[in-house]
Structures are given as structure tokens and as C-alpha cells.
Structure 1
């Protein structure tokens, strides 16, 4: 049995509920690989084998060791016996979203991918830290720092979600990147990689964890009519 553990929903970020509702100590009990963001939408989080990295709004990569640090949203997992080795001679978002997703028949399942190797080009965004009163994720991403680099070795980590669950998380691939030298990373917008090796896993289920003791989460109203479009615009990858 292998599950994706997701704390809260991406909708809380769209709705500007950016206070942290789970600590890293608690989150890491549920997975040693994953991604997320910190309180106030403070950067992009990459978790690789229990090591937690934050890419902040300046593009600086920080190794986070304070287990009391909190997150409003995160997705993590523990690799299981279902994990499969993966090798791609060349890859970009088009391949992952179309050919790869079709070949692996992902339309109704959650999955994870981890790829390491050489990247000819990588473009990322980094959410800048916000102060109260918080704006929505959509408002933040309209003015987000964007960084790009070429000829870099690094790791992609992230998750695939089917359209059916597009109101609780971003449908399609949600991927973060970290370079081997820990000098570059963020939320992946576009990439071209070659000779990439890693792992792939389809989950048996998803454990959706809710911050039930957080009054803002319990009381806020969901705007379902505009939610999907807002998530797609805020996540939007580029080829």
C-alpha cells in the first residue's frame, strides 16, 4: 500500500489562507520526499530523503533544519515496493503531460516522479513571502520572481493529480526542481532534460489531511465557480 499524504488543499492558498497549519516535524512523519510552501507563501519547499530545502524569493536555496517551521500546504510520500525505476533519454513538460501520462494511464490516479540528470534549460518561479493581510496565490503569482538557468544537473520531484481532484490540488504535474549544488531551484515552469534517471510510482490512495483546529480553514467560503481557473493560472507551466 502506498499513499500520497497531502496537508490541507491548494484552495486555501487561492483563498489567501497562508498561515502554517502543520510543522515540519509532523509532516515528515508521513513522508520523506515531497514539496510545499512555508507560512506566508514563503518560497518553494523541496524535500529529498528527509532533507528539507527552501528556495526563497531571491532565488537562494536554504537548508531548513528547524522542525517547528510551519506550512499551510504540502504533499509528501514514502517510497514503497511499488516504486519503479525510470530512465528518459529526453524530457520536457509536453512529454510528461502527454506521452508519459498516456503511456502510464494516469488519467484517474495519483502518481509521483523523481528525475535526476542533466538539464539543458530550466525555468522556475518562487513565491515571495507575504505579510498579513495576505493576498491570494493567484495575485502573488502575477508578480512572482522567475529564474532560469542552462546546463545544470539537478533533481525534479513532484506529483501528478487527475482532473477529478482538481479542486483540492493542481491537476496534472506539480513539480519542483533543485540543482545538485543547491544554488538553484523552485516551482518548475519549463525544462528540457536529457539522460534523466529516477523513479516513478502510482499511489493506491491519497490521505487528505485537514487543519481542523484552524478557524480560518473551518470558516472560509469556497468559490468553486472560479477555483479551477484560478488554480490553473497560478500553477501554469510553460513549454
Structure 2
């Protein structure tokens, strides 16, 4: 009979590994499809034996020319509507040149954020004030000078359904997204480093996980599109009618 304690310890790690694999697959699948050359199927002509080819029939009668009557007035031609062109999501404006990046961890998962859009890093020194009736991904409010910082349970927000037990107990920092009123709770932060654009597998289509700008393959981490993430949180706040004042 397997050791139940070992099984319980393996489950969170398996969930994190599975989610990381899915993140990498999501970010790279679209790019690989764009790079793949699509072959157009063609059919070889079928050879027909000479004896089966019928002899052509030649007719000498000329083809009569039928005059075409010109209409008195030209009929208007209805315009043919052009199909709407679906534009891919453009790369972030900071992705065109090398940029500083910071890696932070959430429930064992590594995420990266560009320093140019990192508003601040706050240490969680006191309990964050919860809001009754709020969704699981919303931790509550953290007083920050002249306004309250909305703190997100990052694991619940990006790993819904795969969050290890008691993941919230390990949060020690809050990373503020640019100049927004939203912050991502995390376990730890690492040193920053410089990334070149070609070291990231960028996504051009984001129907799934729009906040995922791409993946840093060498570091096995997901790169966050900060402004898209903040916009999604604002939209979720409105949809849930949260009273965060």
C-alpha cells in the first residue's frame, strides 16, 4: 500500500509541472504553426494509354458571332464585402530591444515581469484585509500610502483548479503592476537579468491566456504582459461588482 503522505506531497509538484508544460505549449504552439511551411496537396496526372485516347473530331463550320445588345443604362454593381482581417496581437512595445526582467515564484511556478513595468515590490508584513463575497483569486486590500492596493492570489488567478493546498500561506511579497492599483502576491523574488528579444518565444495570438506574452525557454518561465494582465483584472472587478473602495 503506497505511503499516503508521499502521495500528498507529490500532487502539488505534479500539478505545477503539468501547468508549466501547458504554459510552454500554449506559448510555443502558435509560433511553431506560423513557422511551419504548409504543403498544398497535389495530384499526379493519370497516364492514359494511347489506344484509349479518342481521335479528335474536326469540324470546319465557322462559329457564328452573336451580337450583344448594349443596355440603355448601366446597372449598378453591388459591392462585394471584404472579409474582416483578423490582426494578431502585437508584441509589447518593450519587446523590440533588450530589457531588464525580474523572476518571481508563485506556488513553485516561475513567472517573469519586465522591470520597466514593475511599479513596486511590497513585503507582506500584516494580514491583507479580505472583502466578503469576493472570488477566490481576490485576496483583499493592502493599505499603500494614499490608496489601497488590490492584491491578487496569483496562483488562483493563473492556475485555477491546480493550486496546491495552502499556497496562500507562502506569500511574502506583492508585486505592483506598473502604475495600476493591482498587485500580484508571490512567494519570493529573484535578481533581475537582461533578456534579448530573440531569447523569448513570443506569442502572436492570445485567445487563451492573453496575459502570457511568451516564454523564456532558458529559464523555463512565463513572461507576463503587465498591461494586459492589469486590464483583465479591472474587467474581472467590474464583472464581479466588487466593492473595493
TM-score bucket (shorter structure) = under 0.3
Q: Which structure has the larger Rg?
A: 2
**Which structure's residues are more often helix, by fraction?**
2
Task: Give the number of the structure with larger relative contact order, counting CA–CA contacts within 8 Å between residues 6 or more apart.
Answer: 1
Q: Give the alignment's TM-score, normalised by structure 1.
A: 0.27
Q: Give the alignment's TM-score, normalised by structure 2.
A: 0.27
**Which structure's residues are more often strand, by fraction?**
1
